[in-house]
Structure 1
Amino acid sequence: MDGSNKNNAIFRAISWHFSNSTYTGKIQPYDKRHSKFNPWMLMPAAVIVQFCCGSLYAWSVFNEPIDEEITGDAESSQAAISFYIAVGMLGFSAAFMGPWIERNGPRKSLIVASSIFFLGNLISALAIYWKDMFLLYIGYGVVGGFAIGISYVTPVSSLQSWFPHKRGLAAGFGVCGFGGGSIVIGKVILPLISAVGLPMTFVVLGCCYFVAMVSSAFVFRLPPPGYSPFSRKQLKKMAKLTPQPEIKLTAMESIKSLDFCLIYVVLLSNILFGLVAISRLSNMITQLFSKNAHEAATMVSINGGLNLFGRLFFSVISDKIGRKSCFIIMLMAQFFVVVTLPFYIEQDLYIPFLASMFTLTMCYGGGFGCVPAFLADMFGASNVGVCFGLILTAWSVGGVAGGLTFTAIYNYLIQHGYSTDDAYPYVVNSYWILSFIIIGLLSAIFVRTSLKDRLLPPVHGEWFKFRIFSNMIRIKKVSTFPQVQVLSSEQYDEEWEKYLQSLASSQTVEIEDYDENCELKNNQEKY
């Protein structure tokens, strides 16, 4: 009985944690005409925070110096484990701490995360000084990774609340600094080691990160209730021309929904190839195409810049063409890359190979740039912290599980007669990656972005439905065989009208306006 009560108490605590994401502090008033604060100040502040977090992707520069310092063997590959632990902790902390971030606000969250990250760097410095690899795993992997997870989510969540009219742009700025940090910090590490030594490098960088992140934290705040970036005249005009539907969901309802699960699969499929291929780009250039290390390093730097560009480019155009359309475009582009890449490698076509890898990297970055706005559109800006934190576990799953799978297949083939110069180990790996891209593409098609698609109940015998352009495809079970029914937009609108009429007789539904597609502007029904 006691054990049952204890388990129930733990379950209730976890359930309460994820169900309560309302800010508990005092929100500062904001008057656009008289306040010195400008929401656009949040953009560079977010870039600075993400820039510091992006130092994680420069960790590979530390591997050989740390291995040589602690183990005496620069090729022991023990320091690299810190990176994998940090990526895993990043996903865990982003998922678990999302509701805490929403309850405590961006300023407090960033100050706490900055302090923890500073502590992680100090522990790492001590670990190297004492030549203790396990302590390094704790310091940078566990403590540092945990802090990066909080720091990564916080600016993104805040920007989505302040810029509901430019969610794509806000998401792009919210994550683009991560790519920039990996490029710049990667160039700073070795000169800094030469100047102050390896342990002190972590102290110096930790101090710089702490000052930059805490200074940026004081810029962040939450918008007051009822905040809108538009004037009253603009709101009246927009209500007539482009009404925006909303579905009110709690954080728990959001993460348990089918659409969230589909978006999770979409993001995982979109970043999987990038996670396993980008880390091997330098090796592929030197081993498969016999280029020198200097050229490989140059291409890796250019590739890092395109990662940053992809985060901004796709997030900005998603404001025009939609998040779902962007993911479909990115996954289709990756499908083409994976199909053609083996041919380029086998035929030693270097320029097409680089073009393919650059395209892949842009799509990889674009996924991170689009998904925060996608989640805000689907589940509301108030749930972004929770949803974005949880969906970042796809990053950890892809990086760890995908990387281990790729490496296991690659090493197996190398041990059975193939050399590192052969294309075949990469060709074989492309098969399972291609299957994930196809699954992601299908999942993107099934995501219900329309209010009608999400609220209209299934008809008798319906398995599921999905939209292709203006037509709705409905799969129904008839006897033992499925039946495919294609509904035109007019037929689907008729079903929607009947549904609204049935609601009017049983419960109150507030409808201020709806456009030519019969989409609700403001719906008070609980989804």
Structure 2
Amino acid sequence: MKKTKNRWLIALSAVGIHISIGSVYAWSNFTTPLKDLFGWSDSEVAMTFSIAILFLGLSAAFLGHFVEKHGPRKAGLLAAVFFGVGVVGAGLAVTLGSKYLLYFFYGALGGIGLGVGYIAPVSTLVKWFPDRRGLATGLAIMGFGFAAAISSPVMNALIVAVGVANTFYILGIAYFVIMLLSSLYLEKPEEGWLPEGYKEKLNSGKTKPNMDLTQLMANEAVKTKRFWFLWLMLFINVTCGIAILAVAKPLAMESIGIDMTAAAALVGAIGVFNGLGRIGWASFSDIIGRPATYTTFFVLQMVIFFFLPDVSIKWLFVGMMIIVISCYGGGFSSIPAFIGDLFGTKQLGAIHGYILTAWAAAGLVGPLFAAWIKDTTGSYSGSLTFFSGLFVIAFVISLLIRLDIKKLKQSKMVANPSLENQVG
């Protein structure tokens, strides 16, 4: 008999991959050093990050089927190679003083590693944790959110000690090793496997079984309204959240008049709550359901973004920002479990990859829109009001997906009455 792996070590392996690739959120640490070295503009340096996020979404979409076909171990190893080569190649680009090589290595190759590495462990975790879907995916994706808080001080110390190019070389090798070791432990559970004691809880009625609404292939899922409702909800949540992340420091200085040091501390706090929101909201979604969780995101944020431009009280402003960023992180961590609820686990990785194209699009739209409003009006307040309006649309979509779920459940009730109240 083959020994079953420890599912918590599977989760830890997923965290190892996500903490490595999540270091992309600490890219701003390289902005000033690269500008000082080569005289590049802010937009030229920031383009590297934008390309990486774009390729994250594209590779997640196109390589989602690779993850399903070849399994999480091979997908994780592929991610390790692409991301490791991308970061080490960034060191070569800096040594040669070429921003186009930087775009190619860190942006394109590193971005492919980001996309594959992001989705590789998630569908596997859903299968290992049928009793705690939200918690499982929240654990892994929490690592992505916390990565910036972990990576930033390391990056800064290395840049001062060994220079920018050597920092990329060291980080690239370190990330490759961590992702390699993490990937080697990843594995899908055997068909029909259930956690110890879970079957007894199901039989006793203490736990309700996961009654997925459907079991669809990825190419079938994209033809449903539910898929596009999910895509739009994630797109709006990420567009507004990533715009706030991109301008958090100048926005805080403009709105509540704090100095640069205090604003930097706020950015650090935001990074922490980005991570906490991922595990917190995803776990909470196991209790209240994924549809209710997303509706809560949008109600909170439509109110906060509407009032935020007029808030001048420091503690209130900081509290509002923290809630927004926790919802931003929670949107990422809750979406894989939501996909499982609606489309099953047959090709969850591939469907997740398709959904993440919303992240790629939002990563370009959100920060650029906020910067354009700032350049045009001299203030960020206009973009915040606009985002409040977007969340009204997202709220309506969250109600429409509930109606769609209810309609599908009703159509299945005759064949399977136990489906009642399983989703939403």
TM (normalized to structure 1)?
Answer: 0.76
How far apart are the structure 2 equivalents of 1:223 and 1:114? 22
Pairwise CA RMSD of aligned residues?
A: 2.2
Superposed displacement of residue 286, structure 1: 2.5
Q: Which moved more, 1:354-363 or 1:285-294?
A: 285-294
Alignment of 1:257-406 (within 5 A): 257-344=224-311, 348-406=312-370
Unaligned residue ranges in structure 1 (runs of 5+)? 1-28, 415-424, 458-495, 501-508, 521-527
Any conservation in 2 of the 1:169–1:315 contact (CA below 8 Å)? yes
Aligned to 1:121: 87
How far apart are the structure 1 equivalents of 2:141 and 2:232? 20
Q: Which moved more, 1:37-46 or 1:204-213?
A: 37-46
Superposed displacement of residue 216, structure 1: 0.6
Superposed displacement of residue 289, structure 1: 2.9
Superposed displacement of residue 68, structure 1: 2.2
The alpha-carbon distance between structure 1 residues 102 and 293, as it changes in their structure 2 partners (threshold 3 A), is: same
Aligned to 2:19: 51
Kindly provide the amino acid, as one letter, of the partner of residue 204 in structure 1: I
1:59 alignment partner, SS class: helix
Any conservation in 2 of the 1:64–1:74 contact (CA below 8 Å)? no
Any conservation in 1 of the 2:202–2:208 contact (CA below 8 Å)? no
Aligned to 2:170: 204
Superposed displacement of residue 66, structure 1: 1.5
Kindly provide the amino acid, as one letter, of the partner of residue 371 in structure 1: I
How far apart are the structure 2 equivalents of 1:40 and 1:103? 24
How far apart are the structure 2 equivalents of 1:149 and 1:244? 28
Superposed displacement of residue 396, structure 1: 1.5
How far apart are the structure 1 equivalents of 2:384 and 2:15? 34
Any conservation in 1 of the 2:216–2:346 contact (CA below 8 Å)? no
Aligned to 2:10: 42
- The one of 170, 183, 187 equivalent to 1:221 is 187
Kindly provide the amino acid, as one letter, of the partner of residue 92 in structure 1: L
Aligned to 2:121: 155
Any conservation in 1 of the 2:251–2:380 contact (CA below 8 Å)? no
The alpha-carbon distance between structure 1 residues 129 and 40, as it changes in their structure 2 partners (threshold 3 A), is: same
Superposed displacement of residue 451, structure 1: 6.3
**Is the counterpart of residue 111 in structure 1 residue 77 in structure 2?**
yes
How far apart are the structure 1 equivalents of 2:165 and 2:380? 37
2:195 alignment partner, SS class: coil
- The one of 358, 380, 401 equivalent to 1:426 is 380
Superposed displacement of residue 223, structure 1: 1.1
TM (normalized to structure 2)?
Answer: 0.94
Structure (1/2) with the larger strand percentage: 1
Structure (1/2) with the larger helix percentage: 2
**Is the counterpart of residue 454 in structure 1 residue 408 in structure 2?**
yes
Any conservation in 1 of the 2:215–2:346 contact (CA below 8 Å)? no
Kindly provide the amino acid, as one letter, of the partner of residue 113 in structure 1: A
The alpha-carbon distance between structure 1 residues 454 and 63, as it changes in their structure 2 partners (threshold 3 A), is: same
| Alpha-carbon displacement from aligned partner over 1:66-111 (angstroms, at most 9, x marks no partner) | 1222x2x265542211000001000100111111111010001111
Identity %: 31
Unaligned residue ranges in structure 2 (runs of 5+)? none
| Count of aligned residue pairs for this structure pair | 421
Superposed displacement of residue 58, structure 1: 0.4
- The one of 397, 400, 408 equivalent to 2:372 is 408
Relative contact order (C-alpha < 8 Å, sep 6+): which is higher? 2
Any conservation in 2 of the 1:259–1:448 contact (CA below 8 Å)? no
